[in-house]
Chain A
């Protein structure tokens, strides 16, 4: 096993490529069985939903070369190991485990089934048959942070946080930094709900934030409940993981959409071809793994233009979401002018920028 952060990986791949060759020819006649493990219900209209959309895209693209199955609502913990093992034991050749908390169970099962390939979303450990992939969601947060600062009359946004892992912390920071480029005094108030998907709690958090006087919300939780609250109050928010405008036609300004489909199709095809190798990738707007939903009717042209500009800047590299100078909450300078936070540090980020109330 190799403990690696992004881009540190290199040697582990060679062995697996060799091992894959005989297996690939044997599979040529029968379809490749591909398993998916979801942490939420596939109808959550957010995270797990987008993974299931990608699963269907794999079926659509690869037709009778694949046979997919999924298990939804799998709790992170001991149950995950049994589910993943069951998928491996029933002939899946490739298994996508789509939540951070599935990391250790995935690694354990992968050790027992060296011929099965595993793709683990958002983790940090790769082995010859476990690859890791993640999306730079924070790039989308730079775009919505820009929009929030332009749309908010009060200069303060509410942010519904799930759990304070680096992934979420960097989203809050990217959102706030982008907003402060528009309005230097912009503040972000975070409420934690300690869950990735809990519509009741998410809605309560949204209500509490609006009651405290924020007039725009962002979220790092998976249900559309906060947007529905925004819609009822005639205020605005941003969708998470999927286009949630069906729940808030006026209230959703845009949404950060996860596009796993192209990656899943490519990696599944590689297993079929016998060319799959382990890796550790982190794709963003440029590669299309992160995209933004069409702007809602409430977005004025100048805001849309500014958002498009940030998006284009991130893609061509001229806009740095974490470009210095950056102060932390205490006001101490953490990143100097002209510098940026390297990927390795981003992935273990545990501090908030100035203006975040968490």
Chain B
């Protein structure tokens, strides 16, 4: 048995395969539930329907998806250009530190200028952290994959050092948390009674802008050429180094912004030793699930966020173990990759036929 490249890849199937993958996951998931002795329909409903059958549920979905989408949108630029930023978690953390640092600096003060300043600091923080692998890659040819990944752990330790050390809230009985930011340093809630914050709206705007830049401008074209055909890009005079810088700075800046949106939003306006349950890493999956296309990423982010919400809800409603969430996400990726391969290749049985035979 072997794989043979298809001469023509169906465009419809290219877009259809993620949907097919979701459907296959649902079917396989239902079978899994039956084998485990749970009612498959009740389980699937608890997993995919009841978490979002209310306004509050939908708002939570958006809140959970927002950081994933924002980070993945930035990462996709680099991934298209063949620049592999694996350390968005670190850039997110630095963004939270820089933006949160501004909030703490002006603690006790109010003013409409605080939040924008925090956002700028967060973008700058994320960019600065991403600039390290960019510099090392361009100047010394060091793999940005390794550097960005290792720096993620450095960033987390830096955050711990600050929260356990100089930034610790003096009134919190030596527990690791900073003071709670002033009201002006918190993201406004768009929908009263929920946690839907301004950052979610910003994410949607960023997605639309990214879509425009990637598909409708020369810059987007350059990114795609550099990734798809490096030799042709060189010939056309597109600078590979410039692309490394742009990709890492863009993804770092957006990850930093996502970090700030977490601490000034759902985290509740303070820095804690852990501010992200691995959004920077999960966003890599979201980026690929979304076909590296900003609009696709928006959908993918919602699907992945739903799998988290569903996992929690299935534990509450049906008593499914938490591991099922991981199995579901694993199956989704498996089916996506499988359908992807089959869209691009066909399976042939038997030995390859000789030419002319």
Chain A residues proximal to chain B, CB less than 8 Å: 5, 35, 41, 69-79, 81-83, 86-87, 90, 100-101, 104, 108, 124, 163-166, 169, 194, 347-350
The CA of A194 and the CA of B159, in the complex, are separated in Å by 12
User: What A residues does B230 contact at CB under 8 A?
Assistant: none
Chain B residues proximal to chain A, CB less than 8 Å: 60, 63-64, 156-157, 160, 164, 173-176, 195, 262, 265-268, 272-277, 308-309, 312-313, 315-317, 319, 321-323
Contact A165 B176 (CB under 8 A): yes
Contact B312 A164 (CB under 8 A): no
Contact B60 A163 (CB under 8 A): no
Of the candidates A69, A73, A163, which one forms a contact with B273 in the assembled complex, judged by CB atoms under 8 Å apart?
A: A163
User: What A residues does B309 contact at CB under 8 A?
Assistant: 82
User: What A residues does B175 contact at CB under 8 A?
Assistant: 100, 124, 165-166
> What 6 pairs between A and B have smallest CB-CB spacing?
A78-B266, A75-B277, A348-B173, A348-B174, A350-B174, A71-B315
Of the candidates B156, B176, B308, which one forms a contact with A163 in the assembled complex, judged by CB atoms under 8 Å apart?
A: B176
Of the candidates B275, B276, B312, which one forms a contact with A83 in the assembled complex, judged by CB atoms under 8 Å apart?
A: B312
Contact B316 A124 (CB under 8 A): no
Q: Which of A5, A70, A76, A86 has the most CB of B within 10 A?
A: A86
Contact B272 A76 (CB under 8 A): yes
The CA of A83 and the CA of B277, in the complex, are separated in Å by 14
Contact B266 A194 (CB under 8 A): no
Contact A101 B272 (CB under 8 A): yes
Contact B173 A71 (CB under 8 A): no
Contact A77 B276 (CB under 8 A): yes
Contact A71 B176 (CB under 8 A): no
User: What A residues does B323 contact at CB under 8 A?
Assistant: 41
- Minimal Cβ-Cβ distance residue in A for B67: A78
User: What B residues does A90 contact at CB under 8 A?
Assistant: 316-317
Contact A86 B313 (CB under 8 A): yes
The CA of A199 and the CA of B282, in the complex, are separated in Å by 22
Contact B268 A104 (CB under 8 A): yes
User: What B residues does A81 contact at CB under 8 A?
Assistant: 195, 266
User: What B residues does A75 contact at CB under 8 A?
Assistant: 274, 277
Contact B312 A166 (CB under 8 A): no
Contact B160 A194 (CB under 8 A): yes
Q: 10 interchain pairs (CB within 8 A)? A: A69-B319, A71-B316, A76-B272, A77-B276, A79-B277, A81-B266, A82-B309, A90-B316, A100-B175, A165-B176
Of the candidates A35, A86, A166, A194, which one forms a contact with B174 in the assembled complex, judged by CB atoms under 8 Å apart?
A: A166
Apart from A73-B322, A163-B273, 17 more pairs, CB < 8 Å: A69-B319, A71-B312, A71-B315, A71-B322, A72-B322, A75-B274, A78-B63, A78-B195, A78-B265, A79-B277, A82-B312, A163-B160, A164-B176, A166-B173, A166-B175, A194-B160, A348-B173
